Structure 1
């Protein structure tokens, strides 16, 4: 898996926990301007990485405009026992300071309060 993909995956996993704690209303992706086909590519990519042994599993939650459009668990909680990964799986997340700081900085860029050209 590419390093950038790992960071995005980590952020998606980190964001999945709040989504599970306080359920958002669901919507079809097209209702909020997203593509079902493109979202399904996430699942295809994860399943391929799981099959290749790059990771045991992942939970992904994607919301837009306050509506949950993609919420899936891929892989195994215990592969040897054949136990699938549940959507409410708990993950140990370490060293997330840099990715979270990067996301916060990019949010400021989107708001026009920070520019990538700033020193």
Structure 2
């Protein structure tokens, strides 16, 4: 089944070697899309923890959905980690808004290779 998805591509100045472009989805199957902020602190492992923050990828509004997310942790103890996964389903709030729970394990990095656990709830 084909589903029309509309948006636009933003091309950066290539100053960030990790992100050369971004795709902004503006509608999904002719309906609106939305995103959620997320943030938190990882577990304390190998003598330190990392902070992280980001915004989920767009998902359709008004239907059951999840969001993909990706970010880097703060640079602590000489390294950072990647955080990437898919949120749980939408959890409705009494005022009509919703949030998503997320959890996972970072990539392995550091002078002493290790990972961290993380968990939280997106903004609504």
Q: Does TM, normalized by the shorter one, top 0.5?
A: no
TM-score, normalization by structure 2: 0.25
Higher RCO by CA contacts (8 Å cutoff, separation 6 or greater) = 1
Higher helix share: 1
Greater radius of gyration (CA): 2
Higher strand share: 2
